Amino acid sequence: MRHLLSTKTLSRDEAIQILDVTEDMAATQQREVKKLPTLRGKTVVNLFFEDSTRTRISFEAAAKRLSADVISFATKGSSVSKGESLQDTAQTLEAIGADVIVLRHSMSGAPAVLAESGWISASVLNAGDGTHEHPTQALLDAFTLRRRIHGDASRGRGLDGVRVLIVGDILHSRVARSNLWLLSVLGAEVTLVGPPTLIPFGIEAWPATVSYDLDEAIATVRPDAVMMLRVQRERMNAAFFPSEREYAGLWGLSAARFAALPETAVVMHPGPMNRGFEISSAAADSSRSTVLEQVTAGVSTRMAALYLTATGGAA
Amino acid sequence: MTEYLLRAAQLTDGRRADIVIKDGIIESIGSESGASGATVIDADGLLAMPGLVDLHTHLRQPGGEGAETVLSGSRAAAAGGYTAVNAMANTSPVADTASVVEQVQALGDAAGYVTVRPIGAVTKGLAGEHLADIGGMARSRARVRVFSDDGLCVSDALLMRRALEYIKTFGGVLAQHAQEPRLTEGAQLNEGPMSAELGLAGWPAVAEEAIIARDVLLAQHTGARLHICHVSTAGSVEVLRWAKSRGIAVTAEVTPHHLLLTDRLAGGYDARYKVNPPLRSDSDVEAVRAGLADGTIDIVATDHAPHSADAKHCEWDAAANGMVGLESALRVVHEAMVGTGLLDWAGVERVMSVAPARIGDVRGHGHPIAVGSPAEIVLYDPSSRADFAVVDLAGKSTNSPYLGRSLPGSVLATFHGGRPTVLDGAIVDLETGPTNA
């Protein structure tokens, strides 16, 4: 795999292979010595044009566990606003000897532009671009869900027939897009839930059902998993919804809604959570919440992604 | 002045004739011996049409000389078969006073490749607050007749009404860039399946259609002339069709790129395909083609918008809007309209020369090829086909969406004011006057 830019372009076999390599990586993390020599001598650059401590330290941990040299380059705002172009920044990192560039950017498509530009020979790993995609988040979510459902028998399996609700700000969510494509290629049935203002225009062809009513969706879909998206409170200032209170009342995973879920349903959240807004503590702290498992899976997933891109491995 | 004989050219009315050009006018059309000492150009198999007239060109000068100058843009125009262009007002400084439009006019005259007609801003600094010096520009040596804030919409309804009324004084026309600003804040791409998938902020069709609907009603109310720039959606075509059926004095243009390209091209985030209004859907392309064919849309205008490589080779959101279009326009219209049987060459002549000259009051242009007409002529070979390439671009910028795409036809010669600006498909190097470039 040369780059990892999106989940939209992954085939089912490729997706399952990445998840299986993630299983391998996760297994090594159970050992006393967690560090592998796999990427010794390789240089991984975390190029973050947008703040994200969680994702950055997850990639850092993953690269270090694979014995890569890690350089973190964080810069706020777009490169353009600083008067330095993406091209100049990337070529500087290339000259330093980067083998993999992990790119986080506020603008959709920046990793694709970098990968296609011919400016660099390094692999590009999308760590979240604008409102486009966040492929490693979706992979770690799928890994977590597959583990919850299939346990030790996960290898080689998809998520066929698994019913998933993705709830919240679909419009601005790269996590929702990456999850939709990946879940769907793995055979899951996805329902997107949120206010019409936060559902993108023009998604009739997406492999998903759309619902504006969370209670109805819970009752009719009987989901195996509910993914709650982080919703920015400031959205109400742009008339996406009237108030935090109303949003929480209609689309938040309250204690009552959590209780209405099927007993086996898991609750997922990419973090950081807005407790009491999109998710109640009753849901977030329950044994059916996978929030911390997702964080752990994040390191294994990123190890797999770094390994596959840096070594050009299959998938 | 040299005399030219264009031998055996095909006219759009079906005639095949020898055309003699002398002293800047068409001296005769018919069968010539060619013994007069004229320079003979073999036009056998070539279409002869009146020189093309662009109502919507960004020449970037003053202020944007890194991307284009009046001279380089004039050469690009000639290469595409144009003999007249109307230069948009969004320069720096903005063309909102007599001195700026006179400067642009003078640069165009000095360059000499095409007639350059400056467009004046509607509002000072394109700020949408106060009327620009409309009378001053209309009465200047540049004799401005087209006024536009293009790049920005005259969105304030009251200001729009006043501008429409005021421009009537000078027999001018207001060319509106129809884009409701609040509905398009941060907009990057046509709002639809592609913008949803790519996570690019949507530019909804309704933001164009709502302004056109408002403005045709204002034009009706004020009895003023309105022109709609770069119509891009099926809904806009419907609104215009309704307005014309009511006798409202509205005209409209469509760009070559909206006749051929769709938003699916944005899939790889290649900013060559970023333009405002954005590339739309297949059904929009079909609708604007039908609108152009049935006269709902009057003309093709290029919206030639040169940008430096830096402004395009970057993140999509950071990239500038616009495409160069002068050099490719006729070939694209050939592909989208003639190749599909929607227009014949007489129709092309109408939408790319006759009608734009009339709308913009561009004197000396847009006259059918006839004895006594000004010698503004393009010779076009409709039988060839080739990939559009960088060598086909004659301006300063290369932000063409057609590079590498197969297009029919080629412009083999352009005559402006009776002398060739393009011969054998190559730009003629004219003795140009001082151009500050």
Sequence-distant (6+) residues with CB within 8 A of A5 are: A111, A112, A115, A124, A126, A133, A135
B133, B303, B392, B429: the active-site residue: B303
Q: Is B133 annotated in the active site?
A: no
Q: Say how far apart CA A210 and CA A206 lie, in whole Å.
A: 10
Q: Say how far apart CA A90 and CA A88 lie, in whole Å.
A: 6
Q: Say how far apart CA A180 and CA A188 lie, in whole Å.
A: 9
Q: Do B196 and A204 touch (CB under 8 A)?
A: no
pLDDT tens per residue across all 437 residues of chain B? 689 999 999 999 999 999 999 999 999 998 876 557 899 999 999 999 999 999 999 999 999 999 999 999 999 999 999 999 999 999 999 999 999 999 999 999 999 999 999 999 999 999 999 999 999 999 999 999 999 999 999 999 999 999 999 999 999 999 999 999 999 999 999 999 999 999 999 999 999 999 999 999 999 999 999 999 999 999 999 999 999 999 999 999 999 999 999 999 999 999 999 999 999 999 999 999 999 999 999 999 999 999 999 999 999 999 999 999 999 999 999 999 999 999 999 999 999 999 999 999 999 999 999 999 999 999 999 999 999 999 999 999 999 999 999 999 999 999 999 999 999 999 999 976 665 44
State the residue for tokens 């044994």: A287
Tens of pLDDT, residue by residue over A233-271, are 888 888 999 999 999 999 999 999 999 999 999 999 999
Size of interface A-B (CB pairs under 8 A): 78
Q: Do A108 and B193 touch (CB under 8 A)?
A: no
Q: Which amino acid is located at B330 in the chain?
A: L
Q: Do B193 and A112 touch (CB under 8 A)?
A: no
ipTM, 2 dp: 0.95
Sequence-distant (6+) residues with CB within 8 A of A7 are: A15, A133, A135, A138, A139, A178, A179, A181, A182, A185
Sequence-distant (6+) residues with CB within 8 A of A151 are: none
**DSSP one-letter string for B68-130:** --HHHHHHHHHHTTEEEEEE-S-SSS-S-SHHHHHHHHHHHHHH-SSEEEEPBPSBGGG-SSS
State how far Cα A31 lies from the chain centre: 26
Find, in chain A, the residue whose alpha carbon is nearest to that of B193. Answer: A202
Which segments of chain A are extended strands (E)?
43-48, 69-74, 100-105, 123-129, 163-167, 189-193, 209-211, 225-228, 266-268
Q: Does residue B57 contact residue B73 with C-beta atoms inside 8 Å?
A: yes
Classify domain A135-290 at the CATH superfamily level: Aspartate/ornithine carbamoyltransferase (3.40.50.1370)
Find, in chain A, the residue whose alpha carbon is nearest to that of B316. Answer: A109
Question: Tokens in use for A287?
Answer: 């044994």
Average pLDDT over residues A217-245: 94
Find, in chain B, the residue whose alpha carbon is nearest to that of A130. Answer: B199
Q: Where residue A83 falls among pLDDT bands split at 50, 70, 90?
A: low
- State percent of chain A over pLDDT 70: 97
Q: Which helix (H) or strand (E) holds A142?
A: helix A135-150
Backbone torsions φ then ψ of B105, nearest 5 degrees: -60, -45
All structural domains of chain A with their residue ranges: 12-132+295-310, 135-290
Interface test with B, best of A113, A131, A206 (most B CBs within 10 A): A113
Q: Which helix (H) or strand (E) holds A139?
A: helix A135-150
Q: Is B23 on the interface with A (CB under 8 A)?
A: no
Q: Where in chain B is the domain with CATH 3.20.20.140?
A: 51-356
Q: Where in chain B is the domain with CATH 2.30.40.10?
A: 4-47+373-426
Tell me how close the Cα of A52 comes to any Cα of chain B, in angstroms.
Answer: 19
pLDDT at residue B33, as a whole number: 61
* Buried/exposed code over B367-406 (b: 16+ C-beta within 10 A; e: otherwise): bebeeebbbbbbbbbbeeeeebeeebbbbbbebbbbeebe
Question: Which residues from chain A sit within 8 angstroms of residue B204, using beta carbons?
Answer: 201
CA dihedral B202, B292, B239, B251 (to 10 degrees): 110
Question: Which residues from chain A sit within 8 angstroms of residue B195, using beta carbons?
Answer: 200-202
Q: Say how far apart CA B156 and CA B249 lie, in whole Å.
A: 20
pLDDT at residue B437, as a whole number: 45
Which CATH number is B4-47+373-426 given? Answer: 2.30.40.10
Q: Does residue B255 contact residue B400 with C-beta atoms inside 8 Å?
A: no
Residue B68: closest CA among B422, B183, B18, B76: B76
Question: Which residues from chain B sit within 8 angstroms of residue A204, using beta carbons?
Answer: 193
**Does 3.20.20.140 match the CATH number of domain B51-356?**
yes
Nearest CB neighbour to A174, from listed B195, B199, B204: B199
Interface test with A, best of B188, B197, B307 (most A CBs within 10 A): B197
Q: Say how far apart CA A46 and CA A71 lie, in whole Å.
A: 6
Question: Which residues from chain A sit within 8 angstroms of residue B270, using beta carbons?
Answer: 116
Specify the pTM: 0.95
Tens of pLDDT, residue by residue over A145-168, are 999 999 999 999 999 999 999 999
Q: Say how far apart CA A266 and CA A147 lie, in whole Å.
A: 11
Backbone torsions φ then ψ of B324, nearest 5 degrees: -75, 150
State the residue for tokens 């020599």: A37
Q: Where residue A73 falls among pLDDT bands split at 50, 70, 90?
A: confident
Q: Is B263 on the interface with A (CB under 8 A)?
A: no
Average pLDDT over residues A39-65: 95
- Overall fold of domain A12-132+295-310: Rossmann fold (3.40.50)
CA dihedral B250, B254, B258, B259 (to 10 degrees): 110
Question: Which residues from chain A sit within 8 angstroms of residue B271, using beta carbons?
Answer: 113
Backbone torsions φ then ψ of A185, nearest 5 degrees: -70, -20
